[in-house]
Structure 1
Amino acid sequence: MTIPTGATRFARIRAHLESIRIAAGPRAWAYEFLLFGFKQGWACLFGGLMLALLLGTHLFYPAHAPLHRYDFLTLAALAIQVAMLALRLETAREALVICAFHVIGTIMELFKTSAGSWIYPEHSILHIGTVPLFSGFMYAAVGSYIARIWRIFDFSFSHYPPIWTTVLLAAAIYINFFAHHWLPDVRLALFAAAILLFARTTIWFTPWREARRMPLLLGFLLVALFIWFAENIGTFANAWAYPDQRHGWHMVSLAKLGSWYLLMIISFVLISLIHGIRRRDQMR
């Protein structure tokens, strides 16, 4: 693999790992699996560090520290971003994606907290309304993961629907997150529309030597499931709480998995507009 001038540190490590030669067979399968896990972990770097911060500060942050825990989380998230750019652990484009998702997420947070969908039980100085600024980084972590994994695994697609239909679906999902507080919740219709659009779509990704494939709808579900697990860690760490968790923590309802599934579609469509869709039928 030719490494372009100015490549990130990860690109150099990736090129080295992908150049290793192993004869076909069980050892090659095991190596590909481990390489797949390494690349996934690298794509999750920002989100993983944020989760570690949430849990670590919940367990060990001094109760009477002069700096509120939420404010520490905001400053730590900014420090992570600066460090990742300075150390060339992410690209400038990925940092811009994080900023965009932070803005989109904060807008949603302002509305949802005002509607009582969830609360931030601790105090902070760095906030807008009742929303601490670190909260936007939770959405940014999702955008960061998708943007990074798209590049790392060199995504391509077969039977991908027209771009305008996916944008329309993403806009409808985002509007429904707000509108269902006054109008009928149409998420079932949105699920049906997603199935109709993406039922035939296959995503191709390259862990090592060969491109592998998966139904795109299954990919959405797997990522949404991991976000749901992360949400349980976040609420356990008292980063935010749902109304039914005010008197004691318990696992987040599986119904929230549907919300994350829809949010995944929004995130995916936004990243597709940045990276573009490589269609396999046009690559032949």
Structure 2
Amino acid sequence: MDNIVSSDYRVSNPIKLAECSTHKDFGKSDKELKKELEKIRKDLGKFQDTLYAHGKYGVLVCLQGMDTAGKDSLIREVFKDFNARGVVVHSFKVPTPIELRHDYLWRHYIALPERGKFSVFNRTHYENVLVTKVHPTYILGENLPDVNGISDIDEDFWAKRYRQINDFERHIAENGTIIFKFFLHLSKEEQRKRLLRRIELKEKNWKFSPGDLKERKLWDVYQECYEEAIQKTTTEHAPWFVIPADNKKAARVIVASILMDALKKYKDIDEPELDDEIKANLENFKKQLEKEK
């Protein structure tokens, strides 16, 4: 959409989430927004085919947000026109015992996109400076050599984690991974409505957990943690975008537009040329096949 400007959502200065809009509709109906998304996602699908043939870049799309922010449905709708081989979605849950025996970035590193593919992280390596900061006892489960108790998890500890995450993202960017980080910015009132729908609609019941209500009570703490994490880790090679998420259809259009706007600027991503010898003999190959009729 012409009126979506990536820089309007990209974080380049200190932010206060309370001052950022959670709702956009661009004056369009749900039907009009759906049509806009269909057009953009077809272009994204074509781009991914070219990316696959080119084979030198991978694309990492990171999605963060409070519970019910719309991550699952955004993934389903934005990437619907991709070749199934071209996109892999990873939903990161509580670390497994095997994952806890590695450093906290290990499970994310092994899920990075192959060259030519997209990887979508539904919740990301940022859980390690969000949920763990709200609940620092989770850090004790990592069995770190320099953490013997809660008192060791201080501001220096979090500063080190931000540095490690920035180093991780710089490393993968320098090796061909194009990084996008989206925070789906949901209002507390809209979350309340969506949690109610999970209770009231039988087909949505499976999504509801009493734990959602416990985490909701920590809303303000989470907002502060998100603000700090976003500000400490938005960079030129791995930018954060704050996306108004109260209107799911508009949020999908914004994310798809930002992806397409940035990716089309990579002029070196093109389908490879055929070998000169093969190109020179295309007519001969065509005749061979036609003779088989």
TM-score bracket, shorter-length normalisation: under 0.3
Please state which structure has a larger fraction of its residues in helix.
Answer: 1
For the pair shown, the structure with the greater C-alpha radius of gyration is: 2
Please state which structure has a larger fraction of its residues in strand.
Answer: 2
Give the TM-score taking structure 1 as reference length: 0.26
Give the TM-score taking structure 2 as reference length: 0.25
Which is bigger in relative contact order (C-alpha 8 A, separation at least 6)? Answer: 2
